[in-house]
Structure 1
């Protein structure tokens, strides 16, 4: 049985690495321990419901900065607690963790979650020297792996590289969808999007597209789920366009609330300029929503032919695609069912966890 230490920056209810770690723990005979760099003791303030009942042990180091020597000393001490393997996830902290784990002769698995072309040069430079220290480098999509910079590829062997797509908890989504009542507003139509409000998500294009959608569908509603540094700018743009009465900004909400919003929406839209994978799109598809996404490589890998594509920098294309779906409920239903089927066949959290367990076993066997 493998005893693995999975190193995260922090634990939140939207953390894909945390959710994956829990599922690995649920289906493996080994022991999974999660080390959280920035979190302190949770007591009764856990960011995740019922964390004490989960099948993982959690270590918290309470770092106050990425250079917190006390926290790094605690992590180094944790490495000596008889682990068979270390799994890192994040850029800077993952780089330091790989350096420390190498000194203790632990096999290392690292996951790359971001498209490296959307990283800053500094982020790539920090990450690159320690990538070769990992026995296996797992990318969450082929696009993420293909985005490695030339100097990163020079340092790596093909045998180190794997692609394991992110997975979503289909059963949890289904349970929420089933229990969520329908909106009693037959005349209204709802478009939703989920994501951090940062430049790469390109939400301003969606607002400009929606401005034209409202001309045809006056009762249409657009929900932005999430928060971030661009929120006030987007709220101002909605006012300037005169559509603020039709636009809602929910801020950060619990995961189950996201699924409730999916259940009460008609279309999901994502105008991102770049993505490593985009779990939100896959969760929306699992919930049976038809999706309109930007015409970028990752969405062709993930969504394939069960969604509608629009140029990220062209609001009019998003307007056309969204308006088409709002006007044609039969087409909405058809694409929603196709998307849901694709997720169940390709992107279940269970299958993702099984693939990681196989990687763990291979790395330990090869030591």
Structure 2
């Protein structure tokens, strides 16, 4: 099958959407499908922020990347770019002759995908990765006004798709409440168990020593942004430290909130207990997970959280906010849920786990087993099924898929 993928979020920008798009396309290419990715043209600055060479990513066998003119836009990563839509990029696909078009965005590249689907008369599949209503803080509008307007606009876009997927029920349910009419289903983003998997205790102990982590290390990975509520974890650490003297919080990633978080840690007297690692490649991130004891996430903007799934796949128990998609993936056998924005509740849950080694091990083992359902091979097989159904019989196929 020949598949054209449009996205405004892609390498070298760092994030879960970028990871899922690239890994999914690589796996499709390995299976013999021809894939072309149309993504924003990055600048040298974007590569420098990611700490990678300024050259195109190797997307693997049968996968090519075409870059579209884009402009930088303010964001917490400092790398975000948006494609400037012209409605004419469909001509780039004439020689490729795709069987299906998959859009991972409703922004500039998404509008190009819609134009291409119309001009070439090809089915369009859409995936919504964003809890767009949670980003009102980046606009001058009230949260409720922005949520109402943005969600209705997003659904007007996705109603042009033959099928819409989201990585959690929270995404799809919210879209339905604001006017989604297209057939839809929930389909997880993929995790690669070859990179993120449990390791023996001896390996964990060695990695702890190598990274200088204590036996009470909490880790978070991802963007350092306001909507991720990392300040809640730092405030929780200040409470935990009174009962767990060697408690350590490791924050992996980069973002615009870093300086404020560093100042907060110093102000609360835990500056020496919070370690900022900066951006990590996948292999190093997996090692950091193996060297830590608990993964924590207080974010209120998650539609799934790839780093959560990666940490669980690596065998870490988790503590997360009881908000949006996180309760769908953190079950009582894998970890605890805490009240959103409540440092005291996070501190109680984390302290309980830090004091219970056997429980941490049991939860970590269950978390790793649970994430097998989200492996790259399983998720890609599902996408192959969806593409085939839509490409062969749109009306009949959609009625079957939408009930998945």
Does the pair score TM above 0.5? yes
**Count of residue pairs the alignment pairs up:** 356
CA contact (8 A) 2:125 2:164 kept: yes
1:152: Cα distance to partner? 2.5
Structure 2 CA distance, aligned partners of 1:216 and 1:151? 46
Superposed CA offset, 1:308-332 (max 9, x none) = 1111121111111111111111111
RMSD across aligned C-alpha pairs, in angstroms? 2.6
Match of 2:344 among 310, 313, 316: 316
The residue that corresponds to 1:141 in the other structure is: 168
Superposed CA offset, 1:317-366 (max 9, x none) = 1111111111111111111111111112x211211111111111111102
The residue that corresponds to 2:402 in the other structure is: none
CA contact (8 A) 1:111 1:139 kept: yes
The residue that corresponds to 1:182 in the other structure is: 207
1:138: Cα distance to partner? 1.0
1:88: Cα distance to partner? 0.5
1:240 and 2:267 equivalent? yes
1:282 and 2:309 equivalent? yes
1:207: Cα distance to partner? 0.5
The residue that corresponds to 2:6 in the other structure is: 7
Structure 2 CA distance, aligned partners of 1:53 and 1:362? 25
The residue that corresponds to 2:79 in the other structure is: none
Compared with structure 1, are the counterparts of its residues 231 and 47 closer, same or farther at alpha carbon in structure 2 (3 Å cutoff)? Answer: farther
1:188: Cα distance to partner? 3.9
CA contact (8 A) 2:165 2:187 kept: yes
The residue that corresponds to 1:333 in the other structure is: 361
The residue that corresponds to 2:67 in the other structure is: 60
TM-score, L = length of structure 2 = 0.81
The residue that corresponds to 1:26 in the other structure is: 30
- For residues 1-367 of structure 1, the aligned pairs below 5 Å read 2-9=1-8, 10-12=10-12, 14=15, 15=18, 16-27=20-31, 29-39=32-42, 45-46=54-55, 48=57, 51=58, 53-64=60-71, 66=82, 68=84, 73=88, 75-81=89-95, 82-93=97-108, 94-120=110-136, 121=146, 123-148=150-175, 150-153=177-180, 156-157=181-182, 160-174=183-197, 181-184=206-209, 188-305=215-332, 306-344=334-372, 346-366=373-393
Unaligned runs of 5+ in 2: 73-81, 137-145, 395-404
SS in 1 for 2:194: helix
SS in 2 for 1:152: coil
1:251: Cα distance to partner? 1.9
CA contact (8 A) 1:99 1:133 kept: no
CA contact (8 A) 2:289 2:314 kept: yes
SS in 2 for 1:6: strand
